[in-house]
A and B are shown apart, each in its own frame.
Chain A
């Protein structure tokens, strides 16, 4: 009896988890199958759309990689992400360390204050920032994105790193200072190497958040060759009013999966930052 119930329970569990996994992943399956379908098969309203009714083809991939700006979008995204990571680290690492170590009571408040600026949405900021970039002569330049993306990476990463630095015991630095390091030296040579996993998390997030960003890129960049993946794929792979669904889906899939895999590895740490100590 209990055995039967257990089996039913297992079956129910797999059905439940399976259907949610299906819900989450189906759009990506849909991209995958469109990537390799021949146009004649893709635009056939009668045949079963979930399967290949004709042999698969590499035409869409070939078009995407050799006849569109897609590789340029990937490179642009990579450069923007890398610069944003560097700026974020330069600002967030010292700030987080300072908040975690020295600031006492007001450190916590200031930390929460910085975190809350993460909630000020791009929707309110992109109009004034569009004048900013115009004033700096950065219209149609990737530098405008490099300058603006740290507005959402710095607050979140500072908060996240603050949590990491708090877990490193103070004794370690004090010992290092007794051993002859200066205050700054102790941070640089002793604490940072111990916080390397936190710093790695921040690198991943600053990069993925810049890769995910849409509205600033849409506002500031309209020249095709300057676009990032996030806006290039949805706005450029459309000829006139005709969506080129095959290459479009291929582009979306290729740009999505690697970043999703990396992100998944760091997800739990990201969430620990999100929950702001509501869980102990």
Chain B
């Protein structure tokens, strides 16, 4: 008798479990899965905002965009910005995290200030940078002029009064990378902090007692033990910078002359502003192989950490 009652509850639980998870699964399928398949269909069609009927045209869009030099440049830039910024972020975030592991007065304030670029809306933070990189009133230019590095004949950075941060391709690219670093550094720092604080203290102390130098302790204990979490910080940073629209859109809109154009902004300009939904979808799909790779790596790490 008791057994039957138990089985009844268990059956009910199984049903409840499915009912309770259904809304989330439905939402995700309808609003992520279905549009994703539509994106693939669009990329094989000639759909535009003016003529939204779906006629398949094969690989024509992919041939067209691959022949387009702006697309190739934006593909290159996407990788370049994401990888350069994230390598620097990983190095810098280790430095910041090591410092924040120590106790000192005013730490909460330092932490709040260091985290600001991540906690404040990125579009608004980038607007601050836009004003800092202004062609005439940039404070960086003012400091260079003040130091005599700019604006006098024979000055190191040139005789002109301004550097035109967002008007010169190389400086515009550097600006985009710096803003990406600025934005992701806090996230990587807190992730690294979590990693550093998970290292058992007695392990480091034992190594110190055994005479291991700080270098050896870092190389043989800290780095191997925090590697999984550092990779997570790297992968997330990579995904965020790889797919980001906001920084480039607000700072340069891809200019000057497409020198900072990336896949996601080019998708927007082609697909939404230009109205060519099919080509836009095709461009955006070039992001997918990288994201799938990242997802696979994360899955593998999640599995591994479960085993440990």
Using a CB–CB cutoff of 8 Å, the interface residues on chain A facing chain B are 10, 13-14, 16-18, 20-28, 30-31, 34, 42-43, 45, 48-50, 90-92, 94-95, 97-99, 101-103, 108, 110, 112, 114, 116-117, 119-132, 134, 147-148, 150-151, 154-155, 158, 183-184, 208, 211-212, 214-215, 218-219, 229-231, 233-234, 243, 245, 248-249, 251-253, 255-257, 259-261, 263-264, 267-268, 271-272, 274-280
| B120 in contact with A127 (CB, 8 Å) | no
Least Cβ distance of B307 to chain A in Å? 11
The answer for the CA separation of A31 and B229 in the assembled complex, in Å, is 34
A123 and B267 contacting across the interface, CB-CB below 8 Å: yes
Q: Which of A17, A25, A128 contacts B99 (CB 8 A)?
A: A17
- Tell me if B21 and A99 are in contact (CB < 8 A): yes
Q: Which residues of B (12-38) have their CB < 8 Å from a CB of A?
A: 12-14, 16-21, 23-25, 27-28, 31-36, 38
A180 vs B239: C-alpha distance when bound (angstroms): 48
**Quick check: A255 and B39 within 8 Å, CB to CB?**
no
Given the known interface contacts A17-B100, A129-B35, the answer about A276 and B232 at a Cβ–Cβ threshold of 8 Å is yes
Q: Which of A92, A230, A256 has the most CB of B within 10 A?
A: A256
Q: How long is the Cα–Cα vector from A126 to B295 in the complex, in angstroms?
A: 20
Interface size on B, residues (CB 8 A): 105
| 17 contacting pairs across A/B (C-beta < 8 A) | A28-B125, A31-B131, A42-B137, A103-B21, A108-B306, A114-B25, A125-B39, A131-B277, A158-B24, A215-B249, A219-B268, A248-B127, A249-B128, A256-B124, A260-B112, A264-B115, A267-B190
B306 partner residues in chain A, CB cutoff 8 A: 108, 277
- 8 Å CB contact of A234 from B19, B123, B136: B123
CB A95 to nearest CB in B, in angstroms, measures 4
Q: Which B residues are CB-close (under 8 A) to A48?
A: 142
Set A49, A92, A99, A253: member contacting B139, Cβ < 8 A: A49
| Beta-carbon contact of B121 and A24 below 8 Å | no
A230 to B243, CA, bound (A): 18
A279 in contact with B299 (CB, 8 Å): no
- A253 nearest CB across to chain B (Å): 8
B110 interface residue (CB < 8 Å to A): yes
CB distance from A35 to the nearest CB of B (A): 11
Chain A contact surface mostly: helix
Contact of A21 among B52, B110, B136, B298 (CB under 8 A): B110
Given the known inter-chain contacts A45-B142, A183-B16, A230-B123, please indicate yes or no for A154 contacting B28, CB distance below 8 A. Answer: yes
Q: Are A94 and B21 in contact (CB under 8 A)?
A: yes
Asked if residues A97 and B20 are in contact (CB atoms below 8 Å), the reply is: yes
Query: How close is A103's CB to chain B, nearest CB, in angstroms?
Result: 6
Stretch at the interface among B62-70, B80-88, B215-223, B286-294: B286-294
Q: 0/1 per residue, B99-142, Cβ < 8 Å to A?
A: 11010100001111111111111111111111110101101001
* 17 further A-B pairs in the complex, CB-CB below 8 A; given A123-B245, A253-B124: A10-B104, A27-B132, A31-B131, A43-B137, A49-B142, A116-B295, A127-B39, A127-B272, A151-B27, A215-B246, A256-B125, A259-B120, A260-B115, A267-B119, A274-B191, A274-B232, A277-B306
